[in-house]
Structure 1
Amino acid sequence: MRKILTTLLITAGFCTAAFSQTKGTTEFGINVGYNGATVTAGNLTNTDYKSGFNAGVSVEHYFSESWSFKTKLLYDQKGWDNGFYGTKTTNYSLNYLTVPLLANWHFGRTKNWFLNFGPYVSFLLAASESAGGQDVKPYFNTVDGGLDLGIGIKFPVAEKTKFFIELNGQGGVTDIGKNNSGSSIKNSLSSINIGLTF
């Protein structure tokens, strides 16, 4: 996991260095959205979707009319409902700080449609279960990583301001359970987001 995190940070550093040497437009954004989260694991049968939200900020740098690089800093609510905690059925709430590193392809006649894809890394802020109100953060790894994919459209609302709607999905590739002896538990997330870029 440290190698993945190191690779992501090095990539972010190179992209930041490239920004300072590349002429183009840079947009800043804010967003908020609804999360539908669950986990995938071979030995877990109770993994219903859990509702939550996300909110964050973004920076997007255009290298051409069709391509840009975008990174976000998001507060992400994940977890799953109808899980087990000992012999009890409970809901798990996992709160993360998520950083996606995304390549954006802009398409359509006016280039207002976009498709983004790339890796993400998440840092666990808090973890709890609802049946007993227990803090379960010690049972989870503090870093999660995976792949992020999204599609959306922007609508100009002012000279330099655009409103956007985005459908987004994340698929974890790392085990979020600490010292897990069974099948690995991986985060899965679908979200719908709205926001502004300027």
Structure 2
Amino acid sequence: MQTEAGTPIGAHETESTAPRRRTIALLVLVAVAGYTVDQLTKAWAVRALEPGSPKQVVGDLLQLDLVRNPGAAFSFATNATWVLTIIAIVVIGVICFIARRLRSWPWAVALGLLLAGALGNLTDRFARPPGGGQGHVIDFLRLPHWPVFNVADMCVVTAACLIALLAFRGVGIDGRRQHDVPDDAS
């Protein structure tokens, strides 16, 4: 609805739509950046690395070691690839649903990272052999005493840490802090 003569329709954003648009834009920006880095690094790893032939980057601290992982992190659930595919799809759907209430920049970053990670590994499930939602995820980063992982995994773990921190601090999706309810003085 036009508020003043000559003012373009939709030129005035309400108090609630402007912050929501900015936080959703941040979520999308973080997701696109994380997804792009994940897919580019996986494509490079497939071209440049041979399975079972790790390359040292920083001595034994960081190695590049190409692994095709049918499971989740730590090679968990290797025989349930389709379950992991369904979980990733559900996570993406939940993020899209939650984004309608999003007003918090830290939550936008956390959810953007989670979306990037879920989409990155889901892309592998569909685009990599054997395909059809059961493809193997490309992992290539190895640290000492740690399973091989990829950028999508880093996004998911970082998102989980941020979400836990935000929940611990009582910051809601809408940016409001949950206030402690005082105990009844009896």
> Where on the TM-score scale, by shorter chain, does this alignment land: which range?
under 0.3
Q: TM-score, normalised to structure 1's length? A: 0.26
In the superposition, the TM-score normalised over structure 2's length comes to 0.27
The higher radius of gyration belongs to 2
Greater RCO, 1 or 2 (C-alpha within 8 Å, sep 6+): 2
Which protein has the bigger helix share?
2
Q: Which structure features the higher share of strand residues?
A: 1
